[in-house]
Structure 1
Amino acid sequence: MNGINKNRRGRVAHQRLRSRLDAAMAVAGVMVTVCSIQPAYAKRVPQQDMTPYVVRADDSLYTLADRYMQSPADWRLLRAINHVANPRRLQVNAHLSMPTSRLRQTLLTARVVAVRGSVDKLGTAGAPPMPVSAGTLLMEGDEISTGRDAFVSMLLPDGSHVVLPSSSQIRIGRLRTTLLTGAVDRQFDLKQGEVATDVTPFKNPRDSFRVITPSVVAGVRGTRFRVNYLATQDATTVEVLAGKIGVDGAGPDGAANRTSAPQPIQGGAQTLVLAGYGNLTRTGDAAGASVRLLDPPEIADPGKLQNAPQVAFDLTPVDGAGAYRTEIATDADFLDLLRDQRTTGLHAAFDNIPDGNYFVRVSATDTHGIDGLPQVFTFSRHLDTTNAAATPIEGNGYAFRWHVDGEANGARYRFILSSHADLSAPLIDLLDVSGGEMSVAHLSPGKYYWTIVVDTFENGRLLSIPSEIRSFTQTR
């Protein structure tokens, strides 16, 4: 009996020991599991672009997140990325990695410096468009549209210029700076027409400047270039006048309609376009090959005074040109555009140009629609308002009459009559003719040429404005 009880006690003790061992194993298993879990601040973080930061005195993860990150709670993200044990205590001169996508950014503004014609800022959610004038401030998200023969120039905070010619539409996709690095991010989404840029060379390696159309993503690092979205061809032309840019195909879904920066076409090689070259890219295709820009045309007699009702220019032909472009501006950089005309012929004419001094820029366009290199000339515009006329009188003579402008201060009138079309070897050349009328009698048979020259002072210098050279034939 004692042996039986003894065996029972042994089995119970064995069971108790086994239970204790199982419990110990279970606890050990939990301990192993707990030890295999890393602290929250050491968890795996997805690969992303990082901005380096060198720790300064009095820095902590809390102050860094509050100062440079999008949210004060981002200290946890900084702790996880950098495996920081104590977020309050950082070693001075230690190197931290700051996730670029979470860095705090400040919105910038672009200032309108010149406007011609009808330029509107398009409203959202059915709101009516608002007219844009010089001095208007534009910011990220604003969409600008120019009407026919309308132009607008914008000045960015770094001194870069963006010019939108007529019949164009653009959205400011991004215009901001990163607080920690000072990097400036600029993106313009061209939805219609053309944009010309003069980008100040970058001072910060993280600066970016992009022009996006449904066909291309054009990224630059300080250059002068033009981008033109040809809606009828569903293609984009790029022309580089200075520096160089990288052009990627933007894909078939229309990059200009995206709210975030588009990605280049998968597998598509970037085309590097240098100064003096351009390319054509169709929507959905990889970036087109680089082609040399056409040389600019010349203007026949560019220095002649533009005094006719129309301001007109005759261009010289350029091999390979399918069209020509003539632009007029009040400044040499063409930030204040007045007119922009494309012609298939060599003659360009413009109505309603006020008197003044101007710049004209001419270029040839190849058969693919890529504009060539430009050439700029100066010219003066003074409309002939003399309304001169000649009437036969008795005695084989003519009476010559012209309008005297009473508002022209100190204007003097000169009468020239010659038997040569270029008015050389004049038969009569009279200065200070007053009254707006004079007669000449006893003219021999023959053909005669005459004009009225208005001498006036402008900005302290003498300006001679000839009227149209007229002619008549004396038959008896």
Structure 2
Amino acid sequence: MPPRRLAQALSLFLVAFSPALAQAQTLSLPAAAAEAHGPVWQYTVRPGDTLIGLGRQYLRDPAQWPLIQRDNHIAHARQIPPGTVLRIPADLLRQQPSSARLAQVFGQVLWRAQAQSAWQPAEAGQMLAAGSQVQAPEEGSAVIELANGTRLTLQPGSELALDTLSLYADGLMADTRLRLQHGQVEIRDNPRRLPNQNLRILTPSAQAVVRGTQFRVGVEAQITREETLGGAVELQAAGAQVRVDGGQGSLARQGQPPLPPVTLLAAPDVSSLPSVFEQLPLRFTLPGQAGAAAWFGQIAPEAAPVQVLVQKFSVGKALNIGDLPDGRYVLRVRAVDANGLQGLDASHAFTVFARPFFPMLTAPGAGATVRVPRPTLRWSQVVDVTRTHLQVAAGADFAQPLFDVVLPGEAWAPSADLPAGELRWRAASLDAQGRQGPWSAAQTFRYLPGPGPADLAKAAVRFDRDHLLLDLPPAPAGQHYALTLSDHVGLQPALAQTQTSGGAVSLPRPASGKRYLGARLVDDSDGTQGPPVVQVIDVPPRYPYLWLLLIPLLPAL
């Protein structure tokens, strides 16, 4: 006789001749064999229960109650001690279909009733029967709720099939089998801790058998990744299985058994990440973390944290996000180890306040020096902006700005002279509704007053036969004179020009009459000129007594 048949015969013999021993023993072999072919319902016997009554109430064929007696080694079908746990294979139980509900839909999520059906847009609240498939594109996500309260969050770029949604024994047991084709799903299983809830997640390379937990399953390139956040999951592949407890992860490659579980990487330190972004793109620079080979991040609205707006994977230390509307958000970020297992989540709340966009400050440039007391400040034009709020300050902040104006256009000059020294300016945009966006970064420039007017009061003017001679006082330190002699008060065209630091100056003697001498002080370092000072010079005739020679000729005239 084969060993297994012999063991069964021996157990029947013991049941027949030792009822007390049979009740004390619960042989695991038949139950384990039954569970290998499907889920097993564990029923706790109550006072007054009989196998015949249980068969009539729960079995698909009430006459099959002897199978329960046999497999559970019950000596007397009508006398079962209360508290005895009966293990009943699901294929003996009456079955009824269950369903799931699309609790939330974000983006263009698609669904179909079965594999041969056409994809169509999914709507929140619709029911999903067994055989349904749900597809979330890269810009979408969905939350699916099972009858027992289990919630599955289908991440962007994922596809899930609801292969089995079954209830047994008047709903006292559930059997759910889901197939993740690709992408990632996050699961919070059986939150009410109901007994006899069976959930399996199948992938192309493995399956996860859930024992009441919170976990993630991901599929990519024939690799199944499982990370347990709470409870335990049995990951099965290639005829082997490992138990993955909370805080651990494992993965299975196509045709290979699962890797031994490893501890998930700790949640990253996000304490130094910025809480407000006033310009785009967004950049989250993460601190180094031992064991981290990459980073995985998701951004969701603060008011709807399960809605994934952006999902990023980065092998560097930074997550860069190109654009987000203004608002409040939550960043969920995980460190990824060398096997691709994603660690524990860290959450960071932040605000985007970037619109209307601030203009670019163009003149004076950063660190520039201006020499005029009322320089023209210029900035770039911004689309959909009607006015600009401008501030100029002398201190380290703008608590007491020197100028605070709101004006149209892209240029402005102060109405009063600037103080000498280092100054800061910034600008913010206002839209048609008067909403002001963020301030630009403050830009620093320096006002260095230009040379003052030249003092010609002490200048002595002389003439010799061929020259106009000037004696000028020394120019201020770091400056020199620029002199222009002209027939016109506007000093153009020039009869002569020269530059000097002071002292004796010689210019060609102009013809007699009224002439104009202009003088400016000029900065030696950058050529900045002060205001012109114009002095009128009466140039005498070169030979003032030459007319006396004409007196003898007068009678002849």
Tell me the TM-score normalized by structure 1.
0.69
The 8 Å contact of residues 327 and 360 in structure 1, kept in 2 or not, is answered as yes
Partner Cα separation in structure 2 for residue 429 and residue 177 of structure 1: 75
Partner Cα separation in structure 2 for residue 61 and residue 465 of structure 1: 76
Q: Is it true that 1:379 corresponds to 2:367 in the alignment?
A: no
What is the letter of the counterpart of residue 319 of structure 2?
A
The 8 Å contact of residues 268 and 346 in structure 2, kept in 1 or not, is answered as yes
2:229 alignment partner, SS class: strand
Please, which of 100, 113, 117 is the counterpart of residue 110 of structure 1?
Answer: 100
- Count, aligned residues: 390
What is the letter of the counterpart of residue 304 of structure 1?
S
2:251 alignment partner, SS class: strand
Q: Is it true that 1:236 corresponds to 2:224 in the alignment?
A: yes
Partner Cα separation in structure 1 for residue 89 and residue 209 of structure 2: 23
What is the letter of the counterpart of residue 75 of structure 1?
P
Residues 147 and 50 of structure 1: CA distance in aligned 2, closer, same or farther (over 3 Å): closer
The offset of 1:185, in angstroms, is 1.9
The 8 Å contact of residues 78 and 98 in structure 1, kept in 2 or not, is answered as no
The offset of 1:418, in angstroms, is 4.6
Partner Cα separation in structure 2 for residue 300 and residue 81 of structure 1: 58
1:284 alignment partner, SS class: coil
Shifted more, 276-285 versus 326-335: the winner is 326-335
Aligned match of 2:153: 163
What is the letter of the counterpart of residue 157 of structure 2?
S
Aligned match of 1:278: 249
What is the letter of the counterpart of residue 263 of structure 2?
R
| Larger RCO (alpha carbons 8 Å, 6+ apart) | 1
The offset of 1:287, in angstroms, is 2.1
The offset of 1:184, in angstroms, is 2.0
The offset of 1:466, in angstroms, is 2.9
Partner Cα separation in structure 1 for residue 320 and residue 327 of structure 2: 17
Please, which of 213, 216, 222 is the counterpart of residue 212 of structure 2?
Answer: 222
Aligned match of 1:469: 441
Aligned match of 1:192: 182
What is the CA deviation profile of residues 208-252 of structure 1, one whole-angstrom value per residue up to 9, with x for unaligned ones?
A: 122121222212222221111121xx2211111222222222x3x
Percent sequence identity is: 24
Aligned match of 1:328: 299
What is the letter of the counterpart of residue 117 of structure 1?
G
What is the letter of the counterpart of residue 119 of structure 2?
P
Partner Cα separation in structure 2 for residue 227 and residue 218 of structure 1: 8
Q: Is it true that 1:151 corresponds to 2:141 in the alignment?
A: yes
Residues 435 and 157 of structure 1: CA distance in aligned 2, closer, same or farther (over 3 Å): farther
- What pairs with 1:14-93 in structure 2 (closer than 5 Å)? 48=34, 65=56, 68-70=58-60, 74-78=61-65
Partner Cα separation in structure 1 for residue 242 and residue 399 of structure 2: 63
The offset of 1:447, in angstroms, is 6.4
The offset of 1:343, in angstroms, is 0.9
What is the letter of the counterpart of residue 467 of structure 1?
W
Residues 350 and 133 of structure 1: CA distance in aligned 2, closer, same or farther (over 3 Å): farther
2:309 alignment partner, SS class: strand
The offset of 1:153, in angstroms, is 1.5
Residues 450 and 240 of structure 1: CA distance in aligned 2, closer, same or farther (over 3 Å): farther
Aligned match of 1:255: none
Report the aligned-residue RMSD. 4.1
What is the CA deviation profile of residues 57-104 of structure 1, one whole-angstrom value per residue up to 9, with x for unaligned ones?
A: 999969955x5344xxx2343467669xxxxxx969899986531312
The 8 Å contact of residues 329 and 339 in structure 1, kept in 2 or not, is answered as yes
- What pairs with 1:250-399 in structure 2 (closer than 5 Å)? 251=238, 265=239, 268=240, 270-299=241-270, 301-331=272-302, 334-390=305-361, 395-399=373-377
Tell me the TM-score normalized by structure 2.
0.59
The offset of 1:112, in angstroms, is 1.8
Structure 2 unpaired stretches of 5+: 1-29, 35-39, 71-76, 365-371, 449-557
Aligned match of 2:26: none
2:64 alignment partner, SS class: helix
What is the CA deviation profile of residues 417-447 of structure 1, one whole-angstrom value per residue up to 9, with x for unaligned ones?
A: 3568xx537661777x544576436446776
The 8 Å contact of residues 200 and 222 in structure 1, kept in 2 or not, is answered as yes
Shifted more, 303-312 versus 280-289: the winner is 303-312
Partner Cα separation in structure 1 for residue 89 and residue 177 of structure 2: 21
What is the letter of the counterpart of residue 106 of structure 1?
Q
Partner Cα separation in structure 1 for residue 363 and residue 339 of structure 2: 56
Partner Cα separation in structure 2 for residue 452 and residue 370 of structure 1: 46
The 8 Å contact of residues 414 and 430 in structure 1, kept in 2 or not, is answered as no
What is the letter of the counterpart of residue 146 of structure 1?
A
The 8 Å contact of residues 449 and 469 in structure 1, kept in 2 or not, is answered as no
- What pairs with 1:87-102 in structure 2 (closer than 5 Å)? 100-102=90-92
What is the CA deviation profile of residues 228-284 of structure 1, one whole-angstrom value per residue up to 9, with x for unaligned ones?
A: 1121xx2211111222222222x3xxxxxxxxxxxxx1xx3x322222211122222
What is the letter of the counterpart of residue 450 of structure 1?
W
The offset of 1:302, in angstroms, is 3.1
2:269 alignment partner, SS class: coil
The 8 Å contact of residues 329 and 359 in structure 1, kept in 2 or not, is answered as yes
Aligned match of 2:425: 450
The offset of 1:328, in angstroms, is 0.6
